Structure formats: C-alpha cells, structure tokens
Structure 1
Amino acid sequence: MTLASLINKRLLLQLATTLLAAGLLVGCTFTPKFEQATQANLWQCEDGSLMETRLLGEQLWLQLPATTHWINLPQQRAASGARYANGEGASVWNKGNKARVTTPERTWKNCQLISQGEAGKLDKPPQITNTNTSPNALVLRATGHNPSWTFEAQQNGTLVLLQNFGTQRIKFAASEVIKQDLIRTLYQANDVDGNLIEYKVENILCIEINTGEPFPHRVELQYLDKKYQGCGQSF
C-alpha cells in the first residue's frame, strides 16, 4: 500500500465520521413516523367541526373533519406562532389556543384548542364527530331536493336513503372508502339487490337552499343512474 493511498483512506474515514456525526449519511437521518407521535390536540372550529393534530418534532399530522386520513405537514418558518404546511396547499398555523387550517378549497379561520394530551386518549365532547362508538351510531345525515331525499350513514357501514317524504326506504350495507384526499372522501356500498351506490362527502361549506342554513359538508349520491346533491352534517 502506497503512502498516498493510505492518506486517502484516512481522509475518507475522517469524512465519513464527520458526516455520521452530522447525521448526513443516507439512512442516518431521523424521520418521525405518525405512529410515534404521542402529543395530540383537538381543535373545534367556528362551524362546530372537530380536527385533531398530532405532533412529533417538526412534523405535524392533521385529520380533517369526517375523514380517517392523516395529512403530514412539516414545520415551516413563521413570523409568529407555528406553521406547518405541505406542497399540496394544506397548512396549519397556530398560536396559543387558536389555530387556522387551510386546504385548497376551504379555510377554517377560527379554531379553538379544546383538549390536549396523549394521542388516542383525549376526551371528546359528545357532539363531536365519531365519538359515539356504538355500531348503530349515526355518523352522517344529508338532505337534498328535486326530488326531496334524506341520507343517513351509521358507524357499522349501514346506509339508508329515504325518498318520497320518508315513505320509500332503501338500505345499503358494507359501506367502504374507495378514495380520499384533503377535501373529499368517496364511499361505495350495495343495496339488497346488489345495486351500487357511491356517495361523496366534501369538507366544503354548504348552504341549504330552502332555509339558508349552513352545513359543513357537500354531499353527492350516485344511485341507479340518478344523481342527488345536498348538504350534510357529521356526528
């Protein structure tokens, strides 16, 4: 072995040691995972929607209302408070007990911290979505017009579509999520004859056309070549 090659090996060893200490070698950088996050906060916004965030280091995960999906938001620079955002238009900014949540299609400006503690062990108010774990608990109710209809979804995946002022009752079973993003969740199920229903729940403010009452979700149903559009409330 020549003196030059020995010096080169020593230099490479020193460089590797320096990079390892700085955490720059591939595989040595710590990347937090959602399952490791133990700090959780519950936020209730102006329309009654509940959102949960979980934090670990500089990574925050956000769960929007009426979804099971968690959005990963790395921490960003902020003039005040703390800001977390991704490249898809979703962000959370909070300062003290107040937060603002932004998505590509909607912003919740006034969210208040109502509970904080260990992930999975937070006490939730009874009126908040998905706190009733009974299989028969109602998780969504939606209504629309032209023609008049009501749609209800239960925790156990059972669905009911009411038409003709409630005189016609169509039941569906085994509802499942088939697509989900930041704003919308698409579900499907079948009636007793095997006919497919697809329904979409969007986290977009919906105004009931007859009463002017605001609801947190736009809901659209597709069943037997008919489309039903209306407003919904999650529970």
Structure 2
Amino acid sequence: MGALCLGAGLAGCASAPTPPQATPIADNAAPFLPSALFPGSADGFQAWHCQPANQHLIGADNGQTLRLWSLHGAWQLPRAVVADGARYQDGDISFWDRGERALVETPRGQLQCQQAGERKALTRAGNPGVMFKAEGREPSWQVTLAHDVPTLAIETATAPATHQPYMISVLDNQAGRVVLESADVEPFFRLRIDAGACFDKASGAPYPARVTLTYQGEQYSGCGQGIAP
C-alpha cells in the first residue's frame, strides 16, 4: 500500500504509478489484490469529514498502523510516540487522532477533521469463500470475487446471480487499481476497482474502494472492500 496523494490538501507526495499491463493468472488461481483494498488487521473503518479543504477521509487503525484513504488514493502511516491521543506519521504527513476529532498535517497545511461514522470490516467468517465484495444502490447490485479461483458472481436488480470467470486487464499494486473483464465473449462485463474513500449512498458507511461495474449494457457504481482470511 503505497503513499498516494490525498487530494489538494496532501498533494505533491506520490511517485509515478506503474504502467498498467495485462496480468496472466497462474494455475487458475485467484490473483492477489492490492493491499490498499483491505483493512489490514483493523476491525473497522472510520469516516472523517475535514476542513478547510472539504475532504472526506477513511481510516482503519489496528493500534500500530493507520490505513488512510481519500477520494484520490491511499496511505499507510506507522504509529508515532505522542502523549495525547494516537498519532501516525510517514515523513511530512501525520494524522493525530483525538477521539472524535483529528488533525491532519501536511507540507501544504492542516486539516481539522470530525469523525462522521464508522463501519465494522467485512470478514471471511461472515462472507465464506469471498475475497472481495462490492455493492451499490439505485439500482441495487452486488459483486463477489471468489478467494480461490478467478471467478466472480454478479447480481443486479434485474438479473439473478451468475458466476463468471474473469481475466485481469489491469493490476497496479502501487495505485491500488484492478480491472477485471469477462474471460468469455458473452456476457461481457468489466469491473474496475480503485483504492480510495467511498461512502454508501444510503447510509454513508465508509469503504476503502470505489467500484464501477459494466454489465449487460449498463454501468453501475458503488463501494467495496477486500476480505482477508
């Protein structure tokens, strides 16, 4: 999970992304997805609304490391020694958690953040056999990726669940980006996953990935999360 920029307030901090390229799947096994799509060992996600840049951040804290997502990418910050609250820092970027409030410091200034909600992380126990889950609303849809083979299940409001094999057209670990496409000609689908702060349209629940599904001539958008064993 590389240090990617968190938008205008945290700009000038990312290295050039690795050029995307097609990736073969060895021995018909499911691919390893970028770590920026997962909560790590954290139990859940916290949503933060920050000013003056009007940024929306998501954090996942396991007590030693903070995974932090903005609308533009992801960071991973180790814990630093501090007398009050929990502070995480990587170079000139720091996140100081003081309960329901937090201070984000960058070379370009400060963000004052207010906690705006939280969500328990999806687990393999509650989602057996699933490596990644995404869903959206208006209209409703859901996609799950199997943990062992390159197969996904797609379900929409107008079509029952179907299981389809997929190919990887983009796998960029540094950017936290994955694009999967149908392995067969029909029915065509494309699933794009990008590490970045995402909020459920109805509940505002925080997720670490933005997801776009193209399927049966329609395009769907929503949020997702990687699910570790």
Bin for the TM-score computed over the shorter chain: 0.3 to 0.5
More relative contact order, 1 or 2 (CA 8 Å, 6+ apart): 2
Normalised to the residue count of structure 2, the TM-score between the two structures is 0.46
